[in-house]
Amino acid sequence: MNSEKYLRNSVQKGFIFSIVMIFMMMIGFHVVAANLTSKLFGVQVLRGSIPEVVFMAYVHLFFAFIFGWGASDKNRPSKQRVAQGLVTSVTTAAIISLFSLLLVFLVEAQLDIREYLTAFSADYMRYFVLNLGRPGIITLFGIYTVTGLVGTVTALFVQSDRVQQAWNRAKTSVTLFWENANSKMPAWAQKYGKYVIYGGSIIVLLILPVRWGSYLNFVTSVVGLYIIAGIGLNIMVGLSGQLMLGYAAFIAMGAYSMALLNAPTPHGIMLGFWPSLLVGVVMAMIAALILGLPIMRLRGDYLAIVTLGFGEIIRILLRSDLLVDFTGGPRGIHAIQGPTLFGRPFNSSSDFVYLIFFFIALSILIYQRLANSRTGRAWLAINEDSIAAQATGVNLRGYKLLALIIGAAFAGLVGGIAASRNAFTGPNDHSLMVSINVLSLLIVGGMNSIPGIFLGAFALRGLPEILREVETYRQLAFGVLLIVMMLVRPKGLWPSSRPIMENIDKAKVKKAKEKVKKTKRKSKDG
């Protein structure tokens, strides 16, 4: 009974795997993958717009192997695992063969179904069965069965106790090697080594913007601005625990302050970059104060909905015909001026990168000072338990409002710089998607963690810019990334670490050391 059940699960897995494969074919995954491979590794695997047969074969082999690897349950005896692998592989192979039978039929009948499924060009279908026609069906069946089994056996081998033990030993010895190397370094290196590395990376950061082209500078600026925005939103969401979905509205405050005060149309005030930036920051803070006073009593979902509404109200106001003379309406404001520093105008793309680097550093400094202060502690307490926080004498409303205002100041800064950098701002620059993106970078990267915010901003804004090819699949990839993240790293890519963690790690290393010493002693005795 039990044995039947585990095999039935394997059949199910086979169904899922093959459907995944078919789905990927239907969205033209192979073409995208081939495109990316060509770009990234400089290998030509495309013939025209269709991947080469060899490439298709590799994709089949790769996925068959992965499917086989994932086919068996880790905690079952090896015989059952092989059986599971076999059942899953055969099921996958059978369904994919049926699918390729359909493809071969379509090719032979010369039916054009691209009207319904755009990816199904005749070439693509032929190449999917490796350009072999009917024998290709059998070949695919063979590939998926055999490679799947190989995958299962490999998984069995890698996950076997002996290999795992060897791997653990290797890891321990690497840790020990590092510890030894560390303790043998001269005292100055131990003490100041970290600053040498910091200094080195700062110098690299200062040289890079001039060296790499304007495109990478553009990407760096976008990522940098999102980092500053992430730090600001983290003060609201991560530190004080207020879910804010209208962050783009504060960015809009900064951007429009810059645009209205420092562009020839519609008002032509031309106040200059720095005063306008300051006005933008102050305006964002005032907006936060006005929004914050009535919503102080709201928590959780209600707060999220109200702030979401606030963001939309600001965006709709900006694009309304009512204010078209004042804000430029839906067409936005053009020709916003850049900054000058000591009389030197900022005209190359690298200048802005330096400006953004400077503000990132400033933001981190402010953030760290705040998070480790009395104020930061109060926010943490409110975030954990507002009743207990009040009972210890924390001014709940005051600190929540303060978090909103400080977080909004960062947004004003980002808006001002972005508007000046792009020489343009419009209502569509401040849509809900911007707020969601900033929030997602916090979730993906890890709340309350500066490295996490960097990683998140790069993963959500940098990667999509670099991988323009997968533009069509950005939302898909984004969704998959979020799901995988939540499963694998529920606290973000680089979660914040509390001091307590450090102690545990040290204890672990100590234990490992003692173990090794013991084994050494034993081997000496023997």
Partner 1 sequence: MLNVNNLHVHYGAIHALKGVSFNLNEGEIVALIGSNGAGKSTLLKTISGLLQATEGEVSYLEETISDQPAQDIVRKGIIHIPEGRKIFAKMTVVENLEMGAYLINDRRLIAERMDQMFTRFPVLRDRKKQLGGTLSGGEQQMLTMARGLMLDPKLMLLDEPSMGLAPVLVEQVFDIIEEINQQGTSILLVEQNAQMALSIANRAYVLETGRIVLEGAADDVLRDPKVVKAYLGG
Interacting residue with partner 1 among 388, 476, 483, 486 (CB under 8 A) = 388
Residue placing its CB nearer to partner 1 in the complex, 234 or 420: 234
Long-range contacts of 179-185 (CB under 8 A, 24+ apart): 179/509, 179/513
Minimum distance from residue 498 beta carbon to partner 1 (Å): 7
Which residue from 36, 106, 317, 380 is in contact with partner 1, where contact means CB under 8 A?
380
- Find the shortest distance in angstroms from Cβ 397 to partner 1: 8
* Residue 52 near residue 31, CB atoms below 8 Å: no
Number of residues this chain uses to bind partner 1 (CB under 8 A): 22
At 425, give phi and psi (nearest 5°). Answer: -145, 145
In degrees and rounded to multiples of 5, residue 46 shows phi and psi of -105, 140
Alpha-carbon span 94 to 78, nearest angstrom: 24
With respect to partner 1, which residue has the nearer C-beta, 285 or 389? 389
Whether the Cβ atoms of residue 297 and residue 421 lie closer than 8 Å to each other? no
Interacting residues with partner 1 between 479 and 518 (CB under 8 A): 498-500, 503
Q: In this chain, which of 43, 341, 391, 483 binds partner 1, going by CB under 8 A?
A: 391
- Should residue 183 be labelled a site residue for partner 1 when binding is judged by CB under 8 A? no
Provide the phi-psi class of 244: left if phi over 0, else alpha when psi is between -120 and 50, else beta.
beta
Choice from 5, 79, 374, 524 touching partner 1 (CB under 8 A): 374
**Please, which residue, 237 or 318, has the CB nearer to partner 1?**
237
Question: Which residues pair with residue 341 across a beta bridge?
Answer: 344
Query: Is position 396 an interface residue for partner 1 (rule: CB under 8 A)?
Result: yes
The answer to whether residues 419 and 425 touch, using CB atoms and an 8 Å cutoff, is yes
Nearest to 396 by CA among 240, 184, 185: 240
Count CB-CB contacts under 10 A for residue 165.
Answer: 10
Nearest approach in angstroms of CB 2 to partner 1 is 38
Q: Which is nearer to partner 1, 186 or 499 (CB)?
A: 499
Mark the segment that binds partner 1 (CB under 8 A) among 83-91, 332-340, 379-387, 400-408. 379-387
Cα-flanking dihedrals φ and ψ of residue 35, to 5°? Answer: -55, -50
Write down the least CB distance from residue 396 to partner 1, Å: 7
Which listed residue (318, 381, 434, 444) binds partner 1 by CB under 8 A? 381
Q: How far is the CB of 371 from partner 1 (least distance, A)?
A: 13
Q: For 76-119, where are the alpha helices, taking DSSP H only?
A: 78-108
Residue 495 beta carbon to partner 1: minimum distance, rounded to whole angstroms: 12
Candidates 73, 179, 384, 471; binder of partner 1 (CB under 8 A) is 384
C-beta closer to partner 1: residue 47 or 297:
297
Name the 3-class secondary structure at 269.
coil
Q: Which stretch binds partner 1 (CB under 8 A): 387-395, 471-479, 485-493, 510-518?
A: 387-395
For residue 391, the minimal CB distance to partner 1 (Å) is: 5
DSSP output for 22-45: HHHHHTTHHHHHHHHHHHHH----
Binding piece for partner 1, criterion CB under 8 A, among 152-160, 324-332, 385-393, 412-420: 385-393
Residue 336 φ/ψ region, left for φ over 0, alpha for ψ in the -120 to 50 degree band, beta for the rest: beta
Residue 403 near partner 1 by CB under 8 A: no
**Can you tell me the distance from the alpha carbon of 112 to that of 143, in angstroms, rounded to the nearest whole number?**
28
Binding site for partner 1 (CB under 8 A): 374, 377-378, 380-381, 384-385, 387-397, 498-500, 503
